[in-house]
């Protein structure tokens, strides 16, 4: 009986210690898990992370964690000198494109894939109706690279049959040396020029292609003036920008501002570059199991039904499936060319990082 009593007492003591340690650990400040996110997905991820933080998530049963979301453009990571080091880096990264993950790996950034895609947004051509009608002969031709590049080469609206006070054609896309959507747009153009989806480095260096693309680049008024969201700049009116190729999300989020000037026409390019927002984690000898678990928790949260259903409110398509008529932004864009289930055309397959960087250097020198 005495021995049994001792075991009971010891069990109570051990249980009390375990509970005490657990409560002590839970009372400690949470460990911060930094997540770098491309600006196009920032607002969606911020909202989702705030909701996840509100659940007081833990790893290892007792270690509290909180997620901190910070904006980082893809090209800051893989173009030129990388911004992260073994002693200073985020736990996770959500770039705009899986292409950036490959390029970052070529640049020596140690990454491991957690989710191939959290959300999607394709590229979309668009412009003010008056201008698009001239370029497409009243809609008989597609608003795509052949029409736009041909108009850029002509340069003058008068020569194309437009009004004289429109002056010169004003195009826009993201700055290719800063924004993955802008670089992806030019990859789309290369696919259309060569009429093939698989690009190699020699394609981007071809003299005839660069001559063709130069007219397009020179039709952009000023990348610095357009800023980080050229669709928002276009909403100032056709005197600033008339035609552009942006992510679908940028068109949707700026739709009301654009329509205050004039109706717009939208069209998906034949050669597509979809931004797919993968989730990767930093993976080297210093990565702990707790950090891996924290990123896995974030991945499961972002791919859960509630967060996926929320993505269209930010102009993003879910990782799988398509938006519906109940999604207000997509429903509003339907009258202007946004499709719930678009023809994504041919996906462009891009060359390696060094070829992309060489192309960017040429674009920068041509501005």
The confidence score (pLDDT) of residue 15 equals 46
The confidence score (pLDDT) of residue 25 equals 44
The confidence score (pLDDT) of residue 22 equals 45
- What is the number of alpha carbons within 13 Å of residue 275 lying toward its C-beta? 30
Integer Cα distance of 9 and 7 in angstroms? 5
What are the b/e assignments for 274-286, b being 16+ CB within 10 Å? bbbbbbbbbbeee
The confidence score (pLDDT) of residue 103 equals 97
Integer Cα distance of 207 and 191 in angstroms? 15
Using an 8 Å Cβ cutoff, are 339 and 195 in contact? no
Q: Which domains does the chain have, with CATH numbers?
A: 30-116+278-315 (3.40.190.10), 123-274+335-366 (3.40.190.10)
Q: What are the pLDDT tens digits along the chain (367 aa)?
A: 555 566 555 555 544 444 444 454 455 799 999 999 999 999 999 999 999 999 999 999 999 999 999 999 999 999 976 689 999 999 999 999 999 999 999 999 999 999 999 999 999 999 999 999 999 999 999 999 999 999 999 999 999 999 999 999 999 999 999 999 999 999 999 999 999 999 998 999 999 999 999 999 999 999 989 999 999 999 999 999 999 999 999 999 999 999 999 999 999 999 999 999 999 999 999 999 999 999 999 999 999 999 999 999 999 999 999 999 999 999 999 999 999 999 999 999 999 999 999 999 999 999 8
Tokens of residue 97, six digits:
């494109």
The confidence score (pLDDT) of residue 367 equals 81
The confidence score (pLDDT) of residue 244 equals 98
Integer Cα distance of 2 and 8 in angstroms? 10
Handedness of CA 69, 74, 76, 77 (dihedral sign): positive
SS (H, E, C) the chain: CHHHHHHHHHHHHHHHHHHHHHHHHHHCCCEEEEEEECHHHHHHHHHHHHHHHCCCCEECCCEEEEEEEEECCHHHHHCCCCCCECCECCCEEECCCHHHHHHHHHCCCCEEEEECCCEEECEEEEEEHHHHHHHCCCCCCCCCHHHHHHHHHHCEHHHHCCCHHHCECCEECCCCCCCHHHHHHHHHHHHHHHCCCECCHHHHHCHHHHHHHHHHHHCCCCHHHHCCCHHHHHCCCCCCCCEEEEEHHHHHHCHHHHHCCCCEEEECCCEECCECCCEEEECCCCCCHHHHHHHHHHHHHHHCHHHHHHHHHHCCEECCCCCCCCCHHHHHHHHHCCCCCCCCCEECECCCHHHHHHHHHHHHHHC
Handedness of CA 157, 239, 145, 137 (dihedral sign): negative
The confidence score (pLDDT) of residue 17 equals 42
Residues written for the chain: 367
């Amino acid at each position: 009986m005495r021995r049994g009593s001792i075991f009971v007492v010891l069990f109570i003591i051990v249980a009390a210690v375990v509970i005490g340690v657990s409560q002590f650990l839970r009372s400690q400040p949470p460990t911060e898990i930094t997540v770098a996110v491309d600006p196009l997905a920032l607002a969606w991820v911020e909202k989702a992370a705030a909701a996840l933080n509100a659940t007081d998530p833990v790893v290892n049963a007792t270690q509290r964690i909180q997620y901190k979301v910070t904006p980082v453009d893809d090209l800051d990571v893989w173009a030129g000198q990388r911004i992260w080091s073994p002693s200073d880096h985020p736990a996770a990264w959500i770039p705009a494109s899986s292409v950036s993950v490959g390029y970052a790996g070529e640049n020596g950034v140690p990454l491991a894939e957690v989710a191939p895609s959290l959300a999607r947004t394709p590229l979309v051509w668009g412009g003010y109706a008056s201008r698009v009608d001239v370029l497409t002969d009243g809609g008989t031709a597609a608003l795509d690279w052949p029409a736009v590049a041909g108009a850029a080469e002509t340069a003058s609206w008068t020569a194309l049959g437009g009004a004289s006070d429109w002056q010169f054609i004003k195009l826009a896309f993201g700055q290719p040396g800063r924004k993955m959507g802008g670089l992806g747009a030019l990859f789309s153009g290369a696919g259309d020029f060569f009429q093939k989806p698989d690009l190699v480095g020699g394609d981007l260096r071809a003299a005839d292609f660069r001559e063709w693309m130069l007219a397009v680049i020179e039709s952009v008024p000023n990348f610095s003036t357009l800023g980080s969201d050229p669709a928002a700049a276009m909403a100032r009116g056709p005197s600033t920008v008339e035609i552009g190729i942006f992510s679908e999300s940028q068109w949707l989020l700026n739709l009301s501002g654009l329509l205050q000037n004039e109706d717009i026409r939208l069209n998906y390019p034949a050669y597509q570059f979809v931004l797919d927002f993968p989730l990767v984690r930093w993976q080297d000898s210093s990565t702990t199991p707790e950090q891996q678990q924290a990123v896995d928790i974030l991945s499961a949260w972002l791919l859960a039904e509630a967060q996926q259903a929320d993505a269209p409110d930010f102009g993003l398509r879910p990782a799988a499936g398509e938006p519906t008529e109940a999604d207000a932004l997509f429903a509003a864009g339907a009258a202007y060319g946004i499709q719930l289930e678009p023809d994504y055309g041919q996906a462009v397959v891009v060359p390696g990082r060094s070829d992309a960087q060489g192309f960017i250097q040429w674009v920068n020198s041509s501005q």
